[in-house]
Amino acid sequence: MKKILMIICNCKNTKGSVSTMNIKTFSERLKESRKANNLTQAELCKLSGVTSATISAYESTDDKKGCNPSLDNAIKLANALNVSLDWLCGTTSNKSKIEITDFLKTLVKLRESVNLAIDTVDLANDESKKVLPNATKLLNSDDFIRDIFTLEQTAEHNGEHFTYTENFIYFDNFHISRFLSEWQKMYDLYSSKTIDENLYNLWLDKQYKDIDQQIKANEDECIKSGDVSNGNNKETQG
């Protein structure tokens, strides 16, 4: 399972150390982020729950004073500094921490100007994979056919060979998959004016809030249990 939010470094548990990271990079980026947030080590201690002495040791590039951080502490520090854990550990150059709900909000906004079709497919059923009703509806719409005809005529006029392909994206994440499935149903009701814009937006806001709460609960549970493999991609029970 791929994780969107919180996992990284190919680490197995929160009790051991982050063994696949670059310790020097972690030290430099930790200090850089702390100073960028105008925090002292004591202030970062209060925000993260990691002791000042431990933070000082992490920031030291001296082989005798420096130490390898536990994944538990690395997660706490990344969250306190609002940076991605993989950036802090030196496994990516992308500093930003991207939340699932940020991505979903962008997708909702994008739909205002870009045609988007969402279909729920049973991946265990080969016949089901062939049935994409919303995509088919979009591809057979008058506007789409007219656009394709225009593009085809332009290509023919320029002596070019015309081809057209569409992209289908699969998200291996429970929260995204469930949101997309339910969102398509609500969007259909909104598009048909069965529900108004206010109710549609209220539903969206509730989904974002619920997803954030579920992810936070899962992250806390995973840190406590030492299992960081599914924190951002599992359904909250109960």
On the question of pLDDT at 62 being above 80, the answer is: no
Between 232 and 217, the higher pLDDT residue: 217
Between 126 and 143, the higher pLDDT residue: 143
Q: Which pLDDT tens digit goes with each residue over 21-60?
A: 578 888 999 999 999 999 999 999 999 999 999 999 999 8
Q: Are residues 53 and 89 in the same domain?
A: yes
* Global pTM value: 0.51
- Position 222 confidence tier, pLDDT thresholds 50, 70, 90: low
On the question of pLDDT at 3 being above 60, the answer is: no
Tell me if 25 sits within 8 A of 61, measured CB to CB. Answer: no
In a domain, 235, yes or no: no
Q: Are residues 80 and 109 in the same domain?
A: no
Note down the domain range covering 72: 1-97
- Position 6 confidence tier, pLDDT thresholds 50, 70, 90: very low
Q: Are residues 41 and 107 in the same domain?
A: no
Q: Are residues 202 and 186 in the same domain?
A: yes
On the question of pLDDT at 16 being above 50, the answer is: no
On the question of pLDDT at 128 being above 50, the answer is: yes
Rounded to whole angstroms, the Cα distance separating 42 from 190 reads: 50
On the question of pLDDT at 231 being above 60, the answer is: no
In a domain, 200, yes or no: yes
Q: Are residues 47 and 123 in the same domain?
A: no
Between 99 and 80, the higher pLDDT residue: 80
Q: Among 77, 97, 117, identify where a domain stops.
A: 97
Q: Are residues 42 and 116 in the same domain?
A: no
On the question of pLDDT at 209 being above 80, the answer is: yes
Q: Which phi and psi angles does 129 have, rounded to 5°?
A: -60, -25
In a domain, 113, yes or no: yes
On the question of pLDDT at 92 being above 60, the answer is: yes
Tell me if 88 sits within 8 A of 102, measured CB to CB. Answer: no
Which residue's structure tokens are 């249990």?
A: 225
Q: Residue 225 has what pLDDT?
A: 65
Q: Are residues 23 and 78 in the same domain?
A: yes
Rounded to whole angstroms, the Cα distance separating 203 from 219 reads: 24
Looking at residues 103-124, what average pLDDT do you find? 76
Q: Are residues 109 and 93 in the same domain?
A: no
In a domain, 231, yes or no: no
Q: Are residues 91 and 69 in the same domain?
A: yes
In a domain, 26, yes or no: yes
- What CATH number does the domain containing 79 carry? 1.10.260.40
On the question of pLDDT at 166 being above 50, the answer is: yes
Q: Residue 71 has what pLDDT?
A: 72
In a domain, 140, yes or no: no
In a domain, 232, yes or no: no
| Residue 137 DSSP label | H
On the question of pLDDT at 186 being above 90, the answer is: yes
Split into its structural domains, the chain has a count of 2
Q: Are residues 83 and 112 in the same domain?
A: no
Q: Are residues 57 and 112 in the same domain?
A: no
Rounded to whole angstroms, the Cα distance separating 69 from 56 reads: 11
Rounded to whole angstroms, the Cα distance separating 5 from 231 reads: 9
On the question of pLDDT at 86 being above 80, the answer is: no
On the question of pLDDT at 4 being above 80, the answer is: no
In a domain, 159, yes or no: no
Q: Are residues 6 and 83 in the same domain?
A: yes
